[in-house]
Amino acid sequence: MDLFIKLALLVVFFGVMIYVGLYSRRHATDVNGFVLGGRSVGPWLTAFAYGTSYFSAVVFVGYAGQFGWKYGIATTWAGIANALLGSLAAWVVLGRRTRIMTQHLDSATMPQFFEKRFGSKSLKIVASAIIFIFLIPYTASLYNGLSRLFAMAFNIDYAVCVIVMAVLTGVYVIAGGYMATAINDFIQGIIMLFGICAVIVAVLRSQGGFLAALDGLARVQDVAVSETPGVFASFFGPDPLNLLGVMILTSLGTWGLPQMVQKFYAITNEGAISKGTIISTFFALVVAGGSYFLGGFGRLFTEQIGVTEAGTPVGGFDAVVPAMLSGLPTILIAIVVVLVMSASMSTLSSLVLASSSTLTLDFLKDLRKGKMEEKSQLFTMRALIVVFIAISVVIAIIQYRSNVTFIAQLMGVSWGALAGAFLAPFLYGLYWKRTTAPACWVSFLFSTVVMLLNMLVRGSFPVLLQSPINAGAFCMLAGLVIVPVVSALTKAPDRARVERIFSCYERKVTVPARDSIGDE
């Protein structure tokens, strides 16, 4: 009976996803519709698409377990930072200007933005190469959090789980493009919101309630981490400096990730941006804050998990959250499985759509000197979605069965490399007319080289930067300094051309008096 309940929920969930994909086919008949939903996506769909692309099984299972174990309840600060910096500030700073300028430049991808904003086709090609190289392993990492949950709930082989999830995601993305992804993200987001709340309540009740769980956490002591009593239940935890690195990477990183920024391209109007800002921030506060808050109590479950001589969980940090959930009622375990599937499928769909559109529009189309018909572009993007998903499945299965550490390291490096390379050039490109193409080149080169070296010769880095998380945060902050400095030292861009680009922000619009309050 228990297995029937779990399977029934999964079947219903998958059925809805496929139906939405088929329903959304009418929005995916041209490139603009397939990639951006015709730039007519409302605030709720855009906000949920942003949030569900942001938070995957990597956060709920991997990061929550790892950082909750290391920092205790203080890891909740990472979720709060995700909401305030990764969502609220990102929407306020980037949302409106991204939507206006990308439409003005007729750019559908981040590499296209770099080409048209800075007048360099080479920038577009290199940006698309960076996205292709680093999004594939990041895509493969989405499957990691599923293995232990499915083993706990179904005893199903990991390969079967990965293939089923990948195929179903591919079907609805190929059929309906961005609109299918956005609608399914909304449905998956609702599941994530209610699922996180239900799981937190159930886990805390299993420990006697919130106050009892907090008291139990205060009694946990690991002298290898800190000799301070009650440090895992304290405000800033045992290692606030490294916790700050987590907060910066997982929050500021969204500002430079192509699959995140592209959500602003598609939103319908200014009012939708204002509403979407509020919705997205609330979603992040509940989902990210809830995930990290839950992970903060992981050390209360050491009897179920087991601890190695090094003080780490038996089976790795990915074993923490599944162990916390293993004693829940059947219906809640089923909800958790659907929750993690939702988180992974929503992010997977966003990544493969960003990868396929970037490679098609920014690389293959140029090889044919712009003579690629719209039907050919659509076909190529759909074919590449199949290729990307297949590659990510193969990487995920190889890593799981052979424990290839190189692949695992590359997954950890990918977020820092992408956000470090793109964040500063994109942000300054929206706001500062003096930003130059050479500054973009230096930012691209600096972050990708630093993150690759961090993966290959990590021991040679300063102690603080040996962590890929801290190295990624460093690259993002360094880019914010590198771009203005290099821009000031290099030749200014053509003034007339830049003025034409920024004229989109000065465009005069006539509105009814009821929509504008001012002097007569």
Q: Residue 132 corresponds to which tokens in the numbers above?
A: 């292709």
Q: Mind listing the pLDDT tens digit for each residue in 369-399? A: 657 777 888 888 888 888 888 888 888 788 7
Contact 22, 109 (CB under 8 A): no
Using the predicted structure, report yes or no on whether residue 407 has a pLDDT greater than 70. Answer: no
Q: What is the DSSP letter of 515?
A: G
pLDDT-derived band at 154, boundaries 50, 70, 90: low
Q: Is the pLDDT of residue 233 over 50?
A: yes
CATH 1.20.1730.10 fits 2-368+375-394, yes or no: yes
Q: Mean pLDDT throughout 476-495?
A: 95
Q: What is the mean pLDDT of the chain?
A: 84
**Residue 373's CB: how many other CB atoms inside 10 A?**
9
Position 221 scores a pLDDT of 83
d(C-alpha 253, C-alpha 257), whole Å: 7
pLDDT exceeds cutoff 80 at 40? no
Question: CB–CB of 411/181 below 8 Å?
Answer: no
Dihedral pair phi/psi, residue 207, rounded to 5°: -105, 15
Instruction: Tell me how far apart the alpha carbons of residues 342 and 191 are, in angstroms, rounded to a whole number.
Output: 7
* Better-scored residue on pLDDT, 439 or 20: 439
pLDDT at 478: 95
Stretch 449-455: mean pLDDT, rounded?
90
Report d(CA 77, CA 225) in Å as an integer.
Answer: 19
Of 409 and 141, the structure prediction assigns the larger pLDDT to 141
Q: Which of 29-33, 370-374, 394-398, 484-488 has the lowest mean pLDDT?
A: 370-374
Q: How confident is the model at residue 245 (pLDDT cuts 50, 70, 90)?
A: confident
Q: Is the pLDDT of residue 515 over 50?
A: no
SS3 at position 267: strand
**446-458: b or e for each residue (b if 16 or more CB lie within 10 Å)?**
bbbebbeebbeee
**Position 156 pLDDT exceeds 80:** no
For 343, phi then psi, to 5°, come to -60, -40
Q: What average pLDDT does range 474-481 have in this prediction?
A: 94
Residue 514 predicted with pLDDT over 70: no
Q: Three-state SS for 313?
A: strand
Among 26-30, 124-128, 308-312, the range with the most confident prediction by mean pLDDT is 124-128
Nearest residue to 326 via CA among 301, 308, 307, 350: 301
pLDDT 10s digits, 96-145: 999 999 989 988 889 999 999 999 989 999 998 898 888 877 777 777 66
Q: Judge contact between 109 and 35, C-beta under 8 A.
A: yes
pLDDT value, residue 512: 64
How many Å from the N-terminal Cα to the C-terminal Cα in the chain? 71
Q: Look at residue 411 in the predicted model and tell me its pLDDT.
A: 64
Nearest to 186 by CA among 302, 73, 276: 276
Confidence at residue 113, expressed as pLDDT on a 0 to 100 scale: 93
**Could you give the 3-state DSSP secondary structure of residue 307?**
strand
Place of tokens 């490139």: 31
Q: 149: buried, middle or exposed (CB in 10 Å: 19+, 13-18, 0-12)?
A: buried
Spell out the residues 6+ positions from residue 117 whose beta carbon is closer than 8 angstroms to its own: 101, 105, 429, 501
Residues 6+ apart with CB under 8 A from 261: 94, 98, 110, 255, 426
| Rounded-to-integer distance, Cα 399 and Cα 407, Å | 7
Cβ proximity of 253 and 53 under 8 Å: no
pLDDT of residue 369: 62
pLDDT of residue 153: 64
pLDDT band at 36 (very low <50, low <70, confident <90, very high): confident
Reported as a single tens digit per residue, the pLDDT across 263-293 is: 888 888 778 888 999 999 999 999 999 999 9
Per-residue model confidence (pLDDT) at position 428: 97
Q: Has residue 443 got a pLDDT over 50?
A: yes
CB atoms within 10 A of CB 10: 17
Using the 8-state DSSP alphabet, how is residue 310 labeled?
A: T
Percent of the chain with pLDDT over 90: 28
Q: What is the model's pLDDT at position 519?
A: 46
Q: How many residues does the chain have?
A: 520
Give the span between the Cα atoms of 13 and 148, in whole angstroms: 20
**Model confidence band, residue 355 (pLDDT cutoffs 50, 70, 90):** confident
Rg value, the chain, Cα: 23
Nearest to 96 by CA among 259, 277, 273: 273
- How many Cβ atoms sit within 10 Å of the Cβ of residue 219? 12
Share of the chain above pLDDT 70, in %: 91
Q: Is the pLDDT of residue 410 over 70?
A: no
**520 band by pLDDT with thresholds 50, 70 and 90:** very low
C-alpha separations of 478 from 241, 423, 485 in Å: 17, 10, 11
